[in-house]
Homo-oligomer: A and B are copies of this chain.
Amino acid sequence: MSHFWSSSGLDLHLDLQATAKRRSGLESALRAAIQDGRLPAGTLLPSTRGLARDLGLSRGTVTAAYNQLVEEGFLATRPGSGFTVTELPSRASVTTASPSASPRIRHDLRPGLPDVSAFPTGAWLAATRRVLTGARPEIFAAGDPQGRIELRRALAGYLGRTRGVVATPDRIVITSGYHQGVTLLSGVLAGRGITSAALEDPGHNVYRQAIQRGGLATVPLPVDQQGARVDTVPPGAGAVFLTPSHQYPTGVPLHPSRRQTVCAWARSTGGVVIEDDYDGEYRYDRRPIGALQGIAPDHVVYCGTASKTLGPALRLAWMVLPPHLVPDLVRAKQDADLFTETLNQLVLAELISGYAYDRHIRAARLRYRRRRMLLLDRVAACPGITVHGVPAGLHSLLTLPTMGPTEAELLDRCTEQGLGIRGLTELHHNPDDRPQGLLVGFAAASERAYPAALDALFTVLVSAYT
């Protein structure tokens, strides 16, 4: 219903929702009038008695509504002088747009991303309800810099049974994503006197920079068909960063003999091995190989993340550390941002304990396995293009024919087609004269969008090489 009032010489058309509660209905009507300028700054509102009479409301209701709007800063009041509309400096600015964060992607084939359109919203909501209702208030207070014990307990069980990680809650540290974790860990290792670390070449360039910011020099570790050449770790290096279950980006697993080699290196030199198990959940031909950490738990830092299973938005990752590194890493975490946000930690713990996390991953595994096959079928029709790596993970590396456009030219054509995709070159420590290729993320798109994304990619590739 709508009302017209003329008390205090002010005409105003107020839209009161018949459905809404009387007080909140009046509040929203007044807010709307102030926000769209019908009640300009300085306007004196009618007396509570007058408006109550006009609108057929109790005076108490009107007074409560006025006071609420005073609290919200829409109205001001001075004893004896009634209620007036305030000047709101930023009222206009609220609608100001901000520069978008990332370029427009029409076809998402970015590596390392899961299909977030399959986020288990229902399960997440249900778990959130369980966490919040009847929660002990302390969950809203300051948290443990090491991470919530509930999540560390759940992860200890989960990582043990699914990845063969030797994990106890007191060895686990939760960080706001792997990127923060690897940055803090690098700082801790630098604080221990380690000056340089060996990194897979090619490898993830973003983390290479994070490790350098942490204070470690990085030396390249060549990668071949058996994974990283861990036999070539230079004497000076005190740490080795590896992706043993599915080397990023080549997709080859670390050969069993090399797993033994690098663990022997760590035992004999006291060096630290960092195992980035970024996509260990996704193996499509058989059960995943267990984590390297299981072989030498006192020398390997195991790193896992929810970014590749649920989504990067949660900023949740975990490290399982040799006990002697835990206190330093917890201190570094505390210095950086005190502790990781609590609610997502508790919800994830709930999902893991109830096995909804396993179910979600299992369903995703079936979808991604299909998508990878679709990709391989397309490649088979493109002579000269080779797929590398085992059936696993969220991406495949394609290398390109020697004749034809360069990787850079291809990436330009992909961008023109709105394709989000990565090149191989930037992942080499020294990009010159290295094999060129494309990293195709087959998980990032939604089920519906994936076929069109493949079409767009292979339109570019076919026109480039035929």
Contacts and interface: CB of A to CB of B under 8 A. Distances in A.
Interface of A: 27, 31, 68, 71-74, 76, 86, 88-91, 93-99, 101-102, 113, 116-117, 119, 121, 124-125, 128-129, 132-133, 135, 137-146, 149, 152-154, 156-157, 159-162, 164-170, 175-177, 179-180, 183, 210, 213, 287, 294, 310-315, 335-344, 355, 358-359, 361-362, 446
Given A183-B336, A312-B142, A166 B90 contact: yes
Contacts of A355: 27, 31, 68, 72
A97 to B, nearest CB: 8
A39 to B, nearest CB: 14
Nearest to A357: B72
B121 A125 contact: no
B140 A313 contact: yes
Given A90-B165, A132-B125, A362-B71, A140 B311 contact: yes
Residue of A161, A313, A359 with most partner-chain B CB within 10 A: A313
A90 B168 contact: yes
A94 B336 contact: no
A95 to B, nearest CB: 7
A357 to B, nearest CB: 10
Nearest to A315: B341
Contact of A90 (B71, B139, B161, B175): B161
A285 to B, nearest CB: 14
A338 B177 contact: yes
A101 B145 contact: yes
B156 A94 contact: yes
A143 B94 contact: no
A158 to B, nearest CB: 8
A359 to B, nearest CB: 7
Contact of A124 (B76, B132, B340): B132
B166 A95 contact: no
Contacts of A129: 125
A160 B91 contact: yes
A159 B90 contact: yes
A148 to B, nearest CB: 10
Contact of A344 (B98, B137, B343): B343
28 contacts: A72-B161, A89-B165, A89-B166, A90-B159, A90-B165, A91-B160, A93-B156, A94-B153, A96-B153, A96-B170, A102-B142, A116-B141, A119-B137, A125-B129, A137-B446, A140-B310, A140-B311, A140-B312, A140-B313, A141-B313, A142-B313, A179-B337, A180-B337, A180-B338, A183-B335, A313-B343, A314-B343, A337-B337
Given A93-B169, A336-B180, A132 B121 contact: yes
Contacts of A359: 68
Which 7 pairs, one residue from A and one from B, show the smallest C-beta to C-beta distance? A90-B160, A73-B161, A140-B311, A313-B342, A116-B140, A180-B337, A117-B137
A325 to B, nearest CB: 16
A143 B179 CA distance: 14
A326 to B, nearest CB: 10
A441 to B, nearest CB: 12
A234 B137 CA distance: 44
Nearest to A362: B71
Nearest to A290: B89
A129 B127 CA distance: 12
Contacts of A343: 313-314, 343-344
Most buried by B among A89, A152, A213, A294: A89
A146 B210 CA distance: 19
A68 B357 CA distance: 12
Contacts of A113: 141-142
A146 B98 contact: yes
Contact of A169 (B74, B96, B146): B96
A243 B355 CA distance: 47
Nearest to A154: B94
Nearest to A168: B93
Nearest to A206: B338
A133 B121 contact: yes
A157 B91 contact: yes
A341 B358 contact: no
A361 B71 CA distance: 9
Given A68-B362, A315-B337, 6 more contacts: A68-B355, A76-B287, A91-B157, A97-B149, A98-B149, A119-B137
